[in-house]
Amino acid sequence: MKNFNYYAPTQVVFGRDTEGQVGQLVKKYGGTKVLLHFGGQSAIKSGLLDTVEKSLQAEGIEYVKLGGVKPNPRLSLVRQGIEVCKAEGVDFILAVGGGSVIDSSKAISSGRFFEGDVWDLYLHKTHATKYLPIGCVLTIPAAGSEMSDGSVITNDEVDGWLKKDYCVNEFRCKFAIMNPVLTYTLPAWQTACGITDMMMHTMERYFSKDDDMEITDAIAEALLRTCMSEGHKVLENPTDYASRAQIMWAGSLAHNDLTGCGTSGDWATHCLEHELSGMFDVSHGAGLAAVWGSWARYTREENMPRFARFARNVMGCDTTGMTDLEAAEAGIQAMEAFFRSIGMPTNIHDLIGKEISDAEIEDMADKCSTGDTQTIGGLKVLKMADMINIYKMAR
């Protein structure tokens, strides 16, 4: 088992009606003037925003509102948020929404005291040294941003857009309020995208060259099986509390590094996907489903027994008498069949609704490899030419 440093400092407040505690939690973590950051309409329509405001008022906490975060959150709104925080003397950011709202909050947090251009942080040119604290009320289990150290932002100020991440421990939320009831209003598509994303967060860590972390593997396999069984239940009955709760907690455990303890991980599928959602503004989860099968077939030779184990232990395939290659293929096909069963695309055509051109593929691979200067992937190290091959397999 590889050495690891597990850091998961977020206080998780989970269950029915927990959003009413938000004012007390902001106070506990020192917030006196809050930026209340949210997305489009969902938190307003459901009455959640109203509940949050009442809770802040009850604690005598001042706040200023900034809504309008779009899925694949935009740099232009981040800049606006930074200016609001400076002008209003904000000392705490409260994200009410999903991964996009939380990621936008994290970007604002990093830009508040940073003297240069916040985008340079996402280009990994430099680091910020001081951040605003963040808390969140999660409304969609998916990205895992509520416990992760990452933030992914789309630069809408450049031609063709550019999606980049920045990861620091200061981005970990002080608290995350998770009430599964708040996820009842999620459309089936968003629910399915979320299930796919959390499964992929687990699989990115599971598919590595390491084979000596049984406890981590066992947790990962249980998490994946749970996502599939409870995912089907939730899609059949969106107001099933027990299933919504399993999925919500799975989303956090999938990306708070628990399933990465002692492994080196891969993350190539995420890198390939970020170019797709950067270029075509598609849902992140759907983009992952569209390329994963091609990535798996391209890289599986690096650890075929692990893919065979995945087929048996996660997908429940009977691999008796099969070679590892046959078992691996059976597992990949079963995973793709699951993605399709929840309405996810398993190729780029179904994702974007048209044939992707060679030029678009080359452009994505160029951005993903920063002009053929960087590689991605831990299981198999992928250069720009490999990225092009995988995109073409997935087209």
Q: Give me 92's structure tokens.
A: 């705490």
Q: SS3 of 13, please? A: strand
Name the minimum Å distance from CB 159 to ligand NZQ: 20
Provide the b/e sequence for 82-108 (b: ≥16 CB within 10 Å). bebbeeeebbbbbbbbbbbbbbbbbbb
Count of residues touching Zn ion (by CB under 5 A): 1
The three state secondary structure string of 279-327 is: HHCCCHHHHHHHHHHHHHHHHHHHHHHHHHHHHHHCCCCCCCCCCHHHH
Nearest to 114 by CA among 86, 140, 89, 137: 86
Of residues 73 through 132, those in contact with Zn ion by CB under 5 A are none
Residues 6+ away with beta carbon under 8 Å from 330: 311, 315, 317, 319, 322
Applying CB under 6 A, the span of 55-63, 179-187, 223-231, 304-312 interacting with ligand NZQ comes to: 179-187
Maximum pairwise Cα distance, the chain:
68
Convert residues 193-212 into a mask of x (bound to ligand NZQ by CB under 6 A) and - (unbound). xx--x---------------
294, 333 Cβ separation under 8 angstroms: no
Q: Which residues contact 395 (CB under 8 A, 6 or more apart)?
A: 347, 348, 349, 355, 356, 361
Binding mask 190-229 for Zn ion (x = CB under 5 A): -------x--------------------------------
Residue 71 near which of ligand NZQ, Zn ion, none (CB within 5-8 Å, type-dependent): ligand NZQ
Question: Where are the strands (E) in 51-105, listed by range?
Answer: 62-66, 92-97
Judged by CB under 6 A, the residue of 23, 31, 99, 180 near ligand NZQ is: 99
Residues in contact with ligand NZQ, shown as a per-residue x/- string from 318 to 357 under the rule CB under 6 A: ----------------------------------------
Measured distance CA(106)–CA(40) in Å, rounded: 18
Contact between 284 and ligand NZQ per CB under 6 A: yes
Does 111 contact ligand NZQ by CB under 6 A? no
Judged by beta carbon distances under 5 to 8 A according to partner kind, the member of ligand NZQ, Zn ion, none in contact with residue 148 is ligand NZQ
Contact partner at residue 345 from Zn ion, ligand NZQ, none, CB < 5 to 8 Å by partner kind: none
Nearest-CB residue for Zn ion: 197
Q: At its nearest, how many Å lie between ligand NZQ and the CB of residue 77?
A: 12
The interface with ligand NZQ within residues 138-177 (CB under 6 A) comprises 139-140, 142-145, 148, 150-152
Q: Which amino acid is at 232?
A: H
In the block, residue with structure tokens 């997305």 = 39
Nearer to ligand NZQ, 189 or 312 (CB): 189
The piece of 81-89, 100-108, 301-309, 374-382 that touches ligand NZQ (CB under 6 A) is 100-108
Please pick, from the candidates 15, 20, 40, 238, the single residue that binds ligand NZQ as defined by CB under 6 A. 40
Q: Which stretch binds ligand NZQ (CB under 6 A): 57-65, 188-196, 208-216, 224-232?
A: 188-196
Tokens of 109: 């947090």
End-to-end CA distance of the chain: 37
- Give the interface with Zn ion as residue ranges (CB under 5 A): 197
- Give the interface with ligand NZQ as residue ranges (CB under 6 A): 39-43, 71-72, 97-101, 103, 139-140, 142-145, 148, 150-152, 182-183, 185-186, 190, 193-194, 197, 255, 270, 284
